[in-house]
């Protein structure tokens, strides 16, 4: 499993990881989880894409790079905030 790094930028917490040539960045936005992904091999010719998830469980089911993120957030901030938004 790739390492998941946490950064706080201007008051927003971002979780990032790189897996199989794709960089992923996750944050909470408007009561959803916003996932930005960019294929690194495409360089500047690709702007990447955004996907939105209502729960971390949905995210984990569709994006293997973030497997375990719900448990990670439960251990650091309590499960109430991690389950939904």
pTM value is 0.78
Give residue 18's domain range.
5-83
CA distance 1 to 18: 10
| Cβ neighbour number for residue 24 with a 10 Å cutoff | 21
How much is the pLDDT for 83? Answer: 45
- Encode pLDDT of 30-48 as tens digits: 899 999 999 898 888 888 9
CA distance 29 to 19: 23
Maximum Cα–Cα distance for the chain, whole Å? 40
- Encode pLDDT of 53-79 as tens digits: 999 999 999 998 888 888 878 766 655
Q: In this structure, are residues 35 and 59 in contact, taking their beta carbons and an 8 Å threshold?
A: yes
For residue 53, the domain's CATH number is: 3.30.67
The alpha carbon dihedral of 3, 60, 72, 24 has a sign of: positive
Name the domain count of the chain.
1
How much is the pLDDT for 78? Answer: 59
Q: How would residue 3 be classed by pLDDT, with cut points 50, 70 and 90? A: confident
């Amino acid at each position: 499993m790739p390492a998941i790094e946490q950064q706080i930028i201007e008051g927003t917490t971002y979780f990032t990881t790189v897996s199989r040539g794709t960089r992923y960045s996750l944050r909470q936005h408007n009561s959803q989880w916003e996932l930005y992904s960019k294929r690194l091999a495409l360089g500047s010719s690709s702007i990447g894409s955004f996907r939105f998830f209502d729960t971390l469980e949905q995210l984990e089911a569709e994006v293997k790079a973030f497997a375990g993120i719900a448990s990670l957030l439960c251990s650091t901030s309590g499960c109430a905030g991690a389950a939904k938004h």
